[in-house]
Structure 1
Amino acid sequence: MSAVPELELIEGFYNQADCRQLLERLLDEQDWPNNRYQVGERWFELPRQQTWHADPGIRYSYSNNLLVARPWTPLLSELRAAIECRLNAKFNAVLVNLYRDGNDYVGWHSDNEREMGDEPLIASLSLGAPRTFAYRHKRSGEQGSTRLNAGTLLTMRPSFQHDWRHSVPPAPEVADPRINLTFRYVLPPPN
């Protein structure tokens, strides 16, 4: 896959038949909100749709925007259990991103918010249309990419967020939807 040891790609975590069924269920069962957010005095619309699900009491924000947590659905709980078992890790939250087609994207970023602690482990499950996962080193500028097919589980080890940025760039030639679920452990707020 890459020379980046902080990334682990598990192809075929779900088979193609399961992927189609999971994608259809998520498209039907998720209540996709209007994804507008505010930075300072300006309002923006995300170039994708997303929902945030977490255990009770878990709070998370990025770009100083607090995400409204929804409860776990039975399907999301099932996916979490399968991924936790495979990785021998615990997750208490998931960000579900819907890329409606290749015009939807996520820009360069690192998932290094303070709520995730010093050692954030992220497990990213892809369903639907294949898309490119691009990454570049924060200091050296080294770049790379990999294709995330339906059923792929990408694990980003803790040091990846410290040293690298990543993105899913636009791909106008892609007409089909993709759902990406990023499972993470968010530190509970102090009492």
Structure 2
Amino acid sequence: RVLVTFSVSPTDGRAADRSLLDLFSKSVNWVERTTDYDENEADVHRTAWYVAPGWEIPYEYDEGDAQPYNLMPDWMVELRDRMMATVGKDLRERDPELGPPNSCNWNWYRTADANIGAHADDEYLFDGDNREMAVVGFSVGAEREFQILNREKEELRSLILPKMSYCTMEGWFQRDFLHSVPPAPPTGEGKEEEHRINVTWRWIVNKEKPAGRE
């Protein structure tokens, strides 16, 4: 079973979106990352990794480059609970034993060039190669294209993620598909480039790398 769902938050509205964008940009403990597309723009793409108490584990965004963990503050736990109130019912219908996610990864796209290449969230922490798993994304700020590549058929599909939208990847998605966020078209002359911040909620199941896994 593979499932991708998409919805817009019921708190849709430009004022709410800008308020959350301001909160996230100022309150998340961001780490600057050098990107493949331009090594001279290390501050274009920023990331952060947060966990619930009891799951204090770093996250390897790239192999050999561990992302330090942060504990979720109260406002982030409230954001997580709001997410579960919005999409959790559908998630639990497909997995009745699913509790709140115990981790989340943040990405801040500061320009239209900021992007993430095709990849899967298949790290050992989540064990998505060996079991069905869910990832829930929430986006604020500029809308961006979200691409999905079928590994076997090499078919590419895409959808637009608007501001204040949720997107879930469930089942065997991480095993069978890759996903990416390509660069956005440049903004028109004289128009301010809008930032985008995305958080993906995840469920850690392995605290240690299984024996034999690279």
TM-score range, shorter chain: 0.7 to 0.9
Mapped pair 1:96 → 2:121: no
- Residue among 120, 132, 140 paired with 1:110: 120
Instruction: Spell out, residue by residue over 1:114-172, the C-alpha distance to the aligned partner (whole angstroms, 9 max, x if none).
Output: 11022221000010000000111001011110000011100100211111101000114
Larger radius of gyration: 2
CA separation of 1:30 and 1:62: change in aligned 2, threshold 3 A: closer
Segments of 4+ moved more than 6 angstroms? none
1:48 and 1:106 in contact (8 A); partners too: no
Query: Can you give the 5+ residue segments of structure 2 that lack an aligned partner in the other structure?
Result: 36-41, 90-97, 188-192, 209-214
Give the counterpart letter for 1:187 in structure 2: V
Mapped pair 1:84 → 2:84: yes
Instruction: Spell out, residue by residue over 1:67-95, the C-alpha distance to the aligned partner (whole angstroms, 9 max, x if none).
Output: 21111122211111111233144200111
RMSD (Å) for aligned C-alpha atoms: 2.3
Partner of 1:42: none
Mapped pair 1:154 → 2:151: no
Give the counterpart letter for 2:32 in structure 1: N
Partner of 1:48: 45
Residues in 1 aligned to 2:43 and 2:167: alpha-carbon distance in whole angstroms: 23
1:104 and 1:170 in contact (8 A); partners too: yes
Partner of 2:198: 180
Give the counterpart letter for 1:100 in structure 2: R
Length-normalised TM-score, structure 1: 0.85
Partner of 1:34: 32
Residues in 1 aligned to 2:172 and 2:11: alpha-carbon distance in whole angstroms: 26
2:34 and 2:45 in contact (8 A); partners too: no
1:47 and 1:104 in contact (8 A); partners too: yes
Q: The residue matched to 1:104 in structure 2 has which SS?
A: coil
% identity of equivalent residues: 26
Partner of 2:92: none
Instruction: Spell out, residue by residue over 1:38-70, the C-alpha distance to the aligned partner (whole angstroms, 9 max, x if none).
Output: xxxxxxx58610011002334232432322111
Give the counterpart letter for 2:182 in structure 1: P
Query: Can you give the 5+ residue segments of structure 1 that lack an aligned partner in the other structure?
Result: 38-44
2:44 and 2:110 in contact (8 A); partners too: no
Displacement, 1:26? 0.9
Partner of 2:94: none
Give the counterpart letter for 1:120 in structure 2: M
Q: The residue matched to 2:79 in structure 1 has which SS?
A: helix
Number of residue pairs the alignment of both structures matches: 181
Displacement, 1:101? 1.6
Partner of 1:126: 139
1:133 and 1:147 in contact (8 A); partners too: yes
Displacement, 1:186? 0.9
After superposing the two structures, state which structure 1 stretch, 156-165 or 54-63, moved more: 54-63
Pairs within 5 Å for 1:161-176: 161-174=174-187, 175-176=193-194
